[in-house]
Amino acid sequence: MISELRPTDYESVRPLFRPLRYHLASAAVLDGNSPGRVFVDDPNRPRSAFMLSPEGCYLAGAPDNRAFNGALNEAVVGERALGDDVRVLFLVVHPEGWRRRLPAILDPLPMIEERRRHYVCRTLRHGWPAPPPDGYAVRRINRPLLDDAGLVVSDHVTGWMRNNWGSVERFLEGGFGFATVHGREVVSWSLTDCVSGKGCEIGIRTAPEHRRRGLAAVTAAAAVEYALSYGFAMVGWHCPEENLGSIRTAEKVGFRRERDYVAYYARLDR
């Protein structure tokens, strides 16, 4: 059996997802700060739960729940209940006992494992934020920047806002971001993925033709400085183990490796 929880009932599953709070997106969904969906075995006394968030999916609670696991397989793989826009399932689980159940939950889809790192920054490294290279300028991402008709802003920027926050306006009200501009074009941007309590998580993207110039570190450091100056106690960062560029950027500006974990992938676009 599987049921979708109403947002007004999310508090009932908060204890199940608490061990996954290092993925702040899970807490942000329960807080109502991020869009998402939560499915459980029993709405009145949930033992097992599945969450869809903008940053991926999470399985929590009791993994040895055969009825729930079978219903989840049918809903996600069979009926595509998550919607046709979900092409890849990115899964993080707690406890690890879920790992043994994933092949059946995802059947017949092949499962891919990926080792990942979680970083946290509470204090920027000395010397950061640093000035950008000559010809570049760092600007706050706000309404005037987005409305500047003479500035080229990648669709990825506003798409990121809509995906993680539900709309551009919700991002501007509850999130923050910084961009590095070259001429009349935004070439690097770092935005808030999610917010919960005194914590937030950010990501970074740099246009390919402007990489290897230190722009990612400059832009991300500006976002971290803003976060730590405006009431956030910590800033989170996630990346795959093999993404050396992301790792170097995080460590350069002061992020410290908090933990390693395994994520699981399955492609739904058959």
**CA 82 to CA 73: how far, in whole Å?**
12
Residues 124 and 165 in one domain: yes
Q: Is residue 114 part of a domain?
A: no
State residue 78's pLDDT score.
85
* pLDDT < 50 regions, the chain: none
Res 270: pLDDT: 55
- Contact call for residues 194 and 200 (beta carbons, < 8 A): yes
Q: In terms of domains, do 153 and 255 share one?
A: yes
What is the secondary structure of 95-148 as a DSSP string? STTHHHHHHHHHTTS--EEEEEEEEEESSPPTT-SPPPPTTEEEEE-SHHHHT-
Structural domain contains residue 270: no
Last residue of a domain, one of 109, 144, 176: 109
Residue 269 lies in a domain: no
172 in the same domain as 43: no
Do 225 and 166 share a structural domain?
Answer: yes
> Do 127 and 250 reside in the same domain of the chain?
yes
162 & 50 share domain: no
Query: For residue 47, what are its two tokens?
Result: 């033992």
pTM equals 0.95
In this structure, is residue 115 part of a structural domain? no
* Domains in the chain, number: 2
| Domain region containing 91 | 3-109
Sign of the dihedral defined by the CA atoms of residues 77, 82, 83, 84, in that order: negative
Q: Is residue 177 part of a domain?
A: yes
Instruction: Say which CATH number the domain at 254 has.
Output: 3.40.630.30
Burial class of 90 by CB neighbour count within 10 A (0 to 12, 13 to 18, 19+): middle
* Bridge partner list, 191: 177, 203
Number of neighbours of residue 164 by Cβ within 10 angstroms: 25
- Considering the domain architecture, whether residues 139 and 251 belong to the same structural domain is answered as yes
Q: Which of 75, 109, 143 is the last residue of a domain?
A: 109
Q: Is residue 33 part of a domain?
A: yes
Is residue 227, in this structure, part of any structural domain at all? yes
Largest CA distance in the chain: 60
For 164-184, the pLDDT digits (tens) are 999 999 999 999 999 999 999
Same domain, 231 and 157: yes
Do 103 and 171 sit in the same domain of this protein? Answer: no
Domain co-membership, 151 together with 41: no
**Residue at 158 is within a domain:** yes
Residues 100, 204: one domain? Answer: no
Say which DSSP state 111 is in. Answer: -
pLDDT, one tens digit per residue, over 144-157 is: 999 999 999 999 99
Asked whether residue 126 falls in the same domain as residue 88, the answer is no
* Domain C-terminal end among 80, 109, 138: 109
